[in-house]
Amino acid sequence: MLQDKTAVVTGGTRGIGRAVVETFLKNGAKVVLFGSRQETVDQALSELKEEHPDWTVTGLAPDLTDYSSVEKAMGQVKNQYGRIDILVNNAGISARESIYEYDPEAFKKIMDLNVNGVFNCSKAVAPIMKGQGGGSMINISSMVSLYGQPAGCGYPASKYAVNGLTKSLARELGRDQIRVNAVAPGVTRTDMVAALPEDMVQRLAATIPYGRVGEPEEVANTVLFLASELASYVTGAVISVDGAAMC
């Protein structure tokens, strides 16, 4: 589905981002994964190449909160592969503090990565995509962007902003044949959920109409659809992948 496409996936060393990287590679894409530290990037690359030596996958560790660092990294990708067809803005951090204990610096840190990081990557990639005649950006949002959560207001606020960026950039960049969409996962079996006791996971699953938590691969398959030509007229959408958790 992505043969000969070049993709950049931020937060691609683990969780949903890692699942997106593997799904893209299985579908013929060349992938550059971004991670927060070079050592975690190198570890992910080693694991991926050990399993599939024929996959074309490389990695970088730019500071997503610093535009010059992001611009330099995107330039490296463009120089190496000649184009960037797909950008997946997946990197992000969460929090659960009550407003009464919320450190303003922690709130700023969440907004800086979850919102400014998406803006920086999108701004750096947009002219590259425009110059080559188009592309696809997919932002990873969250179901809490639509419904909030009972603590840790910074995370849903940041993801609500991601939805706003998605819809606004879709309208602005459509004339340049750049599609911009978002995926809003529900409770997904990432490292954080996998570390929970199984009885707690079952209690979480009991609140979901579909009867279970989601798998990273299920989110990745939705991202794959949006990145592919199957979604050639889909832009400005925020697609929930949550088992009807908050319908």
DSSP for 201-243 reads: HHHHHHTSTTSS-B-HHHHHHHHHHHHSGGGTT--S-EEEEST
Q: For this structure, is 155 an active site residue?
A: yes
Give the length of the chain: 247
Distances (CA, A) of 21 to 8, 9, 61, 67, 212: 9, 7, 15, 23, 24
The span from the CA of 139 to the CA of 19, in Å, is 15
Q: Which of 81, 155, 160, 233 is catalytic?
A: 155
Decide: 45 and 57 in contact? Cβ < 8 Å. Answer: yes
Four-residue CA torsion sign, 6, 8, 14, 17: negative
The span from the CA of 46 to the CA of 57, in Å, is 10
- DSSP code for 3: T
| Active-site residue list | 155
